[in-house]
A and B are shown apart, each in its own frame.
Chain A
């Protein structure tokens, strides 16, 4: 699992598992920029089923350009959405 730094570009996984997933559909498969490394937290996808016996995951805040999310977005190029995403959903952007 990569350790990302602020400013790194990352790509969100495109997959659709059933469960308590905290990665919104609208950012899956998209590329954004790491805004900060938040810290480590237990994986909500496991905690939701009462499974707490695992190593915590690194959580990042990733900034996406609105125009990358919504092609017809009406606003500035500088308009963004910041989303908290766990490391298991992120890979280095090509």
Chain B
């Protein structure tokens, strides 16, 4: 900071720098426009210009997709924990079972994989970043990282331990590589000591990371 700067705040500065000396967080426009961001903007503009959809429809779609959170997946899991018939249908045909709850599973068939005392499941997309957006919302950044994508398929027990999840020595680890047209969600084990909880109380125990399979659900 300049030593000439008069530290008298009674007048109107007419400037906007941060007196702490810390760099200002850049605004969206301060970052370089990437090639693909420019292409996405251009395609959206063209589709609107051609009347394929209008600006409000595009905005509403973005708003809807961004409103999706792992609470949707948690609702599905809690129902499966209290209703064994639903659980069987969920494992048999995830998309149809989810629709029973009035939820939109999205266009790709949902495949639900159940954790048991014998098997722990974990989801990855090694080729890109496929993720059950319709039930979990936007994926975490680590899910898209090269490190997670390459290592969880190569040394899943080590990666799970880094998430704080120690797999029992006699429990198998089953990795699901989401390479093509399915989307996956883990059905975590219902924690012990939750027998007296209601379905809505159970939903609060189910977090995003348990639905990806990097942790198990905890009782509180």
Contact = CB atoms under 8 A, between A and B. Distances in A.
A30 interface: no
B179 A23 contact: yes
Interface of A: 22-24, 26, 38-39, 41, 44, 59, 61, 66, 70, 73-76, 78-86
B180 A84 contact: yes
Contact of B127 (A24, A59, A61, A86): A24
Interface in B164-183: 169-170, 172-182
A73 B169 CA distance: 14
A74 B155 contact: yes
Contact of A41 (B126, B153, B155, B181): B181
A84 B182 contact: yes
A22 B182 CA distance: 12
Contacts of B175: 66, 79-82
Given A22-B127, A70-B154, A76 B173 contact: yes
Interface of B: 109, 126-127, 153-158, 169-170, 172-182
A86 B174 contact: no
Given A41-B181, A80-B173, 13 more contacts: A38-B109, A39-B109, A66-B175, A74-B158, A76-B169, A76-B170, A76-B172, A76-B173, A81-B153, A81-B174, A82-B177, A83-B179, A86-B180
A85 B127 CA distance: 13
Contacts of A38: 109, 181-182
Contacts of A44: 180-181
Contacts of A83: 177, 179
A22 B173 contact: no
Sorted from nearest, which 3 A-B pairs have the closest CB atoms? A78-B172, A84-B180, A81-B175
Given A24-B127, A38-B109, A79 B181 contact: no
B66 to A, nearest CB: 26
Nearest to B171: A76
B117 to A, nearest CB: 13
Nearest to B174: A80
A22 B179 contact: yes
26 contacts: A24-B177, A38-B109, A39-B109, A41-B180, A44-B180, A59-B181, A61-B182, A70-B154, A74-B158, A75-B156, A75-B157, A76-B172, A79-B173, A79-B174, A80-B172, A80-B174, A80-B175, A81-B174, A81-B175, A82-B176, A82-B177, A83-B179, A84-B177, A84-B180, A84-B181, A85-B179
